[in-house]
Chain A
Amino acid sequence: MKEFFDLPIVTSSYGWNAIFGLDETVSVLFVLPVAFAVFLLLILYPLFFLLGFTERKLSADLQARVGPNRTPGKGALQLFADTIKLGAKSANTGLSLQRRRFLPSLRTAALYSSFAFLPLGTALVFLDSEVGAFLPFACFGFLFLVPLFSNEGPNEAEDQIMAHRQSFLWLSAWIPALLTTLIPVARAGSAKWTALLSSQSDGVFSWTAFSSPFGFLAFLIFLFSGLVALQLPPFHSLDRGTRRRTGPDLAEFGLNEFYSLFSWCIFTSALFLGGQSLREISDTSFIWAAYQLVSTLVKASVLYLGVRVTARALPQIRQDQMTEFCWRILTPVALVSLMGELLWTSVFSGGAQ
């Protein structure tokens, strides 16, 4: 038993220990579930309510409206009310109970497993492996393999077509995303999250997005292709699988959608929008860990709001147009930015030497 707890998992999660006031030696297998519960209940859900409300208010303001304002706190509890209401509703879908519960649960589990390598800070990554930056692709990819091999609804022909389309779209969007991931990885010389974060810790101009024009291009492409692959606004298809969901299922769907977009924003900010220094690696104080957490969440929230509000100001795009967008714009530009970045580094760092 002792050996099991001492498995050599590559982790840099001592920040969580600091946040909980635990000793650094407490096993990660104990900290992970606690941290996950705390993250979910105290960070993610309140952020869902807060950001959802802010997004609705901002887009209402954009559309010359008022937006939700009748719930307590000038409408701030609107998404809380929505979620409670959906949870209290009866779910009368046409699907059998087993089928209805099993697949969404599988997807939810796959989605939340990404918490293990969510780069919340240099000291807050549980699974800090050598392929860290590529793990999100495996995790989110699983979400789209599920519908491909199983028919969710009673109408098989249509669902099969949609599943194939979505999988192809996922494939076409992952290629530019993978290409652009190579840029920060090349800059850091490693795909470890801690290395990626610490390589961008010398002020704003050390961030990948602001280090060179190609870095900024890559940042945009990475963000967009993730949105396309995950079918999030503004790249959501017209009927994104919400048709047969009711009540609690719909609440779960909404939360999952929020988590997938928010975690994508966290990944983007970790790859392109700076990180924290490893200077204070010995300093495992509460303040340092909390600072890491808050700064990451703020960056991701700003990205999230930017994406959602921009999505409201655009018309919807068809799936085949999205696929075309991936192949004709995102992938070539990703290649160009990769080449450009390599040239840029060789010219400028060569000059510096």
Chain B
Amino acid sequence: MIYTREKLHASVSSLSWGPSDPSLPGIFRLEADAEGDLIRRARIETGFLHKGLEKSLEKRSWFTSMIAVDRVDPEAPLFAELAFCIAIEEICNIQVPRRAQVIRLILCELGRVGSHLHFLARAAIATGFDTASQYILRDRELVLDLFELMTGRRFSPNFFKFGGVGADITEGFIERIHETTRLLEIRLREYHALMIENQAFIDRLAWQGVLSAETAQSKGLTGPSARASGLRFDVRKDEAYSGYEHFDFRVPLGTGARGTTGDGFDRIVVRLEEIRESLLILSHAVDSVPAGDFLALTTPPDFTVPAGEAYSRVESPRGLLSCHVVSDGGAHPVRVQWRTPSSSNIEVVPEVLKGITIQDFPVILASFDLSIAEIDR
């Protein structure tokens, strides 16, 4: 912990955590003015992990660009791949085969389950709840195994291609999905008993870090954190893409079960519920994979996109992820712009941290599921 502070006057002190600190969910700096141990004002400085990704995409050819796209959100890489593919397919007017769409959907829902499990593990670690985090990490490995079986990699799969996916469904994949979803349903009940019904865990999160729907809306919050505050916005429902319109699922909202709507506990509960919904979608989707091609066209290394532009939205595990692709028909993109959910979501954090004790801020930060790599890009 790089932990510096100076005394301002009698009881107000200026504290600073980071850039590298295990109590933060990534590499950034958090400065706070604290009165006693209550945070009165918080400031955040990000950008340490800036990697120049958007410029790097402009310099890459269309064929190799997926490598950089994978690194937009390294924790859930398939969503950025999907947004990029949808945008390119719109410009080139490629019809994605139905089979490829369902395969994409299966992998994305799997990615959502994995990312939410990762979130729960991080939240458990932030509350010092090692045992729960170990159980969750055990189940996250099951999801990563499925990824490996299908795409060949655990992270950065580089699997979605323009007009489809890189490979057909692996033998035994569907049986494994059924097996895993059944197991995870049981495990979710276990987490429910371990976390949601645990009074010590509730005390750490309920009534803490309350985010009202108005604040969430005025700061442009999206994703599960916004839904926990009661904002009902889910791209999968509102503008169905990649065949989500064929599946019936519920969008869980924060109810304030143990505290008030939009508190830290709601943000945990909403994500647990979302895992359950994703598992339902998964078990329906693997049973309804249509026959046909998995790839509409093979991308040659000198693939070019005709002049034009497109804008695509997907619902990533953290919120609205959108991609604006502009091409002038050349060998490189003119611009690939990303709207990443975390960079908007982090705007509410200084608001929410007001009035939180110093001991509590890691828990509240963890409850927002921020990906710093996604903010800095």
Do A and B make up one complex?
A: yes
A60 CB, min distance to chain B CBs, angstroms: 9
In the bound complex, how far is the Cα of B201 from the Cα of A238, in angstroms? 15
Q: How far is the CB of A224 from chain B (nearest CB, A)?
A: 13
- The verdict on A64 contacting chain B, using a C-beta distance below 8 Å, is yes
A158 / chain B contacts, CB cutoff of 8 Å: 5, 13, 15
Residue of A nearest to B205 (CB): A315
A interface: dominant SS: loop
Contact A155 B127 (CB under 8 A): no
Most buried by B among A237, A315, A316: A315
Of B58-66, B128-136, B222-230, B247-255, the stretch lying at the interface with chain A is B128-136
In the complex the two chains form, is B359's CB within 8 Å of A155's CB?
A: no
Interface size counted on chain B using CB atoms at 8 A: 28
By beta carbon, the residue of chain B nearest A314 is B200
Contacts of A243 in B (CB 8 A): 1, 3
Please determine whether B201 and A315 come into contact, CB atoms closer than 8 angstroms: yes
B-side contacts of A64, CB under 8 Å? 134-135, 138
Interface residues of B in 10-34 (CB under 8 A from A): 11, 13, 15
Interface mask (A227-248 → B, CB under 8 Å = 1, otherwise 0): 0000000000110000100000
Per-residue CB proximity of B111-125 to A under 8 Å, as 1/0? 000000000000010
Asked if A320 and B357 make an inter-chain contact with CB atoms under 8 angstroms apart, the answer reads yes
**Which of chain A's residues have a CB closer than 8 A to the CB of B129?**
314-316
The DSSP consensus for interface residues of chain B is: mixed
Q: Check B37–A237 contact: CB distance below 8 A.
A: no
> Please, which residues of chain B bring their CB within 8 A of the CB of A318?
204, 357, 359-360
Q: Which of B13, B15, B124, B359 has the most CB of A within 10 A?
A: B359
B347-361 vs A, CB cutoff 8 Å, 1 = contact: the mask equals 000000000010110
B95 within 8 A of A: no
Bound-complex Cα distance A318 to B129 (A):
13
Report the Cα distance A180→B124, complex, angstroms.
34
Enumerate chain B residues within 8 angstroms of A155, measured Cβ to Cβ.
5
Known: A157-B13, A237-B359. A313 touches B128 (CB 8 A): no
In-complex Cβ contact of A157 among B7, B130, B135, B204 (8 A) = B7
Q: Which residue of A lies closest to B134 (CB)?
A: A63
Binding site for A on B (CB under 8 A): 1, 3, 5, 7, 11, 13, 15, 36-37, 124, 127-132, 134-135, 138, 198, 200-201, 203-204, 357, 359-360, 362
Closest 3 CB pairs of A and B: A316-B128, A63-B134, A315-B129
